[in-house]
Amino acid sequence: MSKIRAAIAGGTGYTGGELFRILLNHPEVEIVAATTTSSEGTPVTSVHRDLIGETDLCFGKELNDPDVIFLCLGHGISRQFVDTHEIKPECRIIDLGNDFRLDGDYAGRNFVYGLCESAKDDVRKAKNVANPGCFATAIQLATLPLAAAGLIKDEIHVTAITGSTGAGKKPGETTHFSYRNDNISIYKLFTHQHLAEIKQNLHRVGGVECTVNFVPLRGDFARGIFASVYTRAAEGMTQEDYQKLYEEYYAASPFVFHSKEGISMKEVANTNKALVHVELHDGYVHIASAIDNLVKGAAGQAVQNMNLMFGLPEDTGLHLKPSAF
Instruction: Outline where the chain has alpha helix (H).
Output: 14-23, 44-47, 78-84, 116-125, 134-148, 177-180, 195-206, 239-249, 300-309
CATH 3.40.50.720 residue ranges of the chain are 4-131+296-309
Distances (CA, A) of 214 to 133, 177, 206, 241, 290: 14, 25, 20, 26, 16
pTM of the model: 0.96
Q: How do residues 39-81 score in pLDDT, each as one tens digit?
A: 788 999 999 999 999 999 999 999 999 999 999 998 889 999 9
Distances (CA, A) of 96 to 76, 187, 279: 11, 22, 32
Query: Residue 249: what pLDDT?
Result: 98
User: Which listed residue (72, 116, 134, 210) is catalytic?
Assistant: 134
CATH number for the segment(s) 4-131+296-309:
3.40.50.720
Query: Residue 324: what pLDDT?
Result: 80
91 an active-site residue?
no
Low-confidence ranges of the chain (pLDDT < 50): none
Query: Residue 171: what pLDDT?
Result: 77
Query: Residue 1: what pLDDT?
Result: 66
How is 43-57 classified by DSSP, letter by letter?
A: BHHHHSGGGTTT---
Query: Residue 175: what pLDDT?
Result: 83
Query: Residue 277: what pLDDT?
Result: 98
Please give the angle made by the CA atoms of 174, 302 and 196, to the nearest 5 degrees: 60
Burial label, 164 (beta-carbon count in 10 A; 0-12, 13-18, 19+): buried
CATH number for the segment(s) 134-294:
3.30.360.10
